[in-house]
Amino acid sequence: MVANDKTQHPYDKPYVTGKNPRDVIERGVEFTVEVFTKQIQIYKYVLCLFDENGRAASTDPILTAPETAVSPDEPLKSKSIQLRSDVKPGEVTAYFIFIQNTKGAEHELQDFIKQGKDLRTFNSGKNFKGDVYIVE
């Protein structure tokens, strides 16, 4: 998606606010990840960056409840996040994961992160790959 252009928003394709695909994401700089979606039964969601191995590349990938009803005209947003200090140079990808049933999901997500598991497999079928960015 072209940075700051809301006229062209593919659904379920997350992106870093104000960045174009393949832009550099700088360490120590705060940013948000957004997504436009037509999914209507979202109880909680995660918007973050993953590294090439599917591990969290941004801080605090947590399940967040939408503040208002989900509308296809307004993006869901992450909280203000940064790159994790241990992220290696290379590509990172924006990801959107949503859940409809939170029973045990918070604990399961934290286990995935702690164990360094591939987060792309968390709640499979309801996760969406977005734009790719560069970490130097």
Q: What is the pLDDT of residues 28-74, one digit of tens each?
A: 999 999 999 998 888 899 999 999 999 999 998 889 988 777 788 88
pTM: 0.89
Give 64-112 pLDDT, tens digit per residue: 988 777 788 889 999 999 999 999 999 999 999 998 877 888 888 989 8
Give the pLDDT of residue 83.
97
What residue ranges define each of the domains in the chain, with the CATH number in brackets? Answer: 15-135 (2.60.40)
* Number of residues in the chain: 136
Provide the sign of the torsion angle of the four alpha carbons 131, 64, 97, 38, taken in this order: negative
Give 6-16 pLDDT, tens digit per residue: 556 789 999 99
